[in-house]
A and B are shown apart, each in its own frame.
Chain A
Amino acid sequence: MLANFDFDVIRRSLGYLFFDGMTFTLMLTGLATVGGIIWGTLIAMMRLSGVWGLPRIAQLYVDLMRSLPLVLVIFWFYFLVPYIGQWLTGASRPVRVGAFESSLLTFTLFEAAYYAEIMRAGIQSISRGQPAAASALGLTYWQTMRYVVLPQAFRNMLPVLLTQTIVLFQDTSLVYVLSITDFLGAASKVAQRDGRLVEMYLFAALVYFVISSIASFGVRRLQARIAIVR
């Protein structure tokens, strides 16, 4: 069985897999994480704000995103983004948007809903005395958030945020449905071109497994360290 394995197909396509595929995957993961956490934090703040209507809107956003399969959301944005672009730029036809930009927007907006829930829990985990103390010192709402509440919330939730990023890293493989050349897309293209599905999919699985395992091991270490510091 193993005798029929063509390991050479993997070696031959390493450059394509990693320089084209993995670069796309990691770039998408990294940028969507940063964007998702920023947007998610804003949503969490909206949700916890006392401003009329804002908490409801934020909750609707989070609930909607979390109710839908990512695959469906990917399709939605793939078709919707050109129209939004047209509307924004006032062009006469739907705007062409690149695969990467479209995916980045999708993952940022989608994962923000999940990051928002984590940040909300983080903000709520901080004792009410903290913002009270900050206000008592004369800090404004934004200063209180920026210098007192959010840094603590972020630090407390760091392991959970990173775990969500590992999920995001795995989720990016779903851009496969748009035939985009991420890591899995690259593997799949080689697999189909050379008729080597077994080798390529096993190799892709192994790479995802190794990266995710190392990352989650790192998160566990971090969690243990944070637990000691507290």
Chain B
Amino acid sequence: MIEISHVDKWYGTAFQALKDCTTSVAKGEVVVVCGPSGSGKSTLIKCVNALEPFQKGTITVDGISVGDPRTNLPKLRSRVGMVFQHFELFPHLRIIDNLCLAQEKVLGRSHAEAMAKGSKLLDRVGLKDHAQKYPAQLSGGQQQRVAIARALAMDPIAMLFDEPTSALDPEMISEVLDVMIDLARDGMTMMVVTHEMGFARKVANRVIFMDQGEIVEDAQKEEFFNKPRSERAQKFLSKILSH
């Protein structure tokens, strides 16, 4: 579904954010990307739907090359859902309108169609009663669930999560993770940047460990948790699992 091969990315000329990254996500697979901050994991995931440009290598999504200037990027992005660290709901739109906007403007669905789809998804994330509220009137956890519903409303073929729980208060993390676990069990193709190793243990198929712009480890879940090959991954795991 997602093929990343030999991707290099520089900020300016001095700083290389991604170094020769190669990996893939198969249909229905859940891949967790982890690593210390500044390791390039967010950058990598943003390259997948071309929110960040990259200079070398290729990324294809469902066979379509992301870096190709002839690619219709808006169309490609509309088929890949993305969830951000800071939710990024549109503050001036009601919850239901946040879900409808792109359905209508990008997919060309009728308002009624979009509303129906939106209500169904709000129900799915347990927020049906909040449809008429504005984002700032919801808690962080609720906002992130809306953000997931907003992405799902586009009927994506894959979902990208960029640290979806790191801006949340601890007591709200599980409500968001529950929605994500549900999604994974439904067979959604997912690429998730997160430090939530509990989530990884539960639903991930593979775990990718990044450090300083490189993919250091790319392994099946059991293998990664039981006997990580690299020293850097061992260190990272011991730090993150010790509490």
Complex: A in contact with B (CB within 8 Å): no
Q: Chain A: residues with CB nearer than 8 A to chain B?
A: none
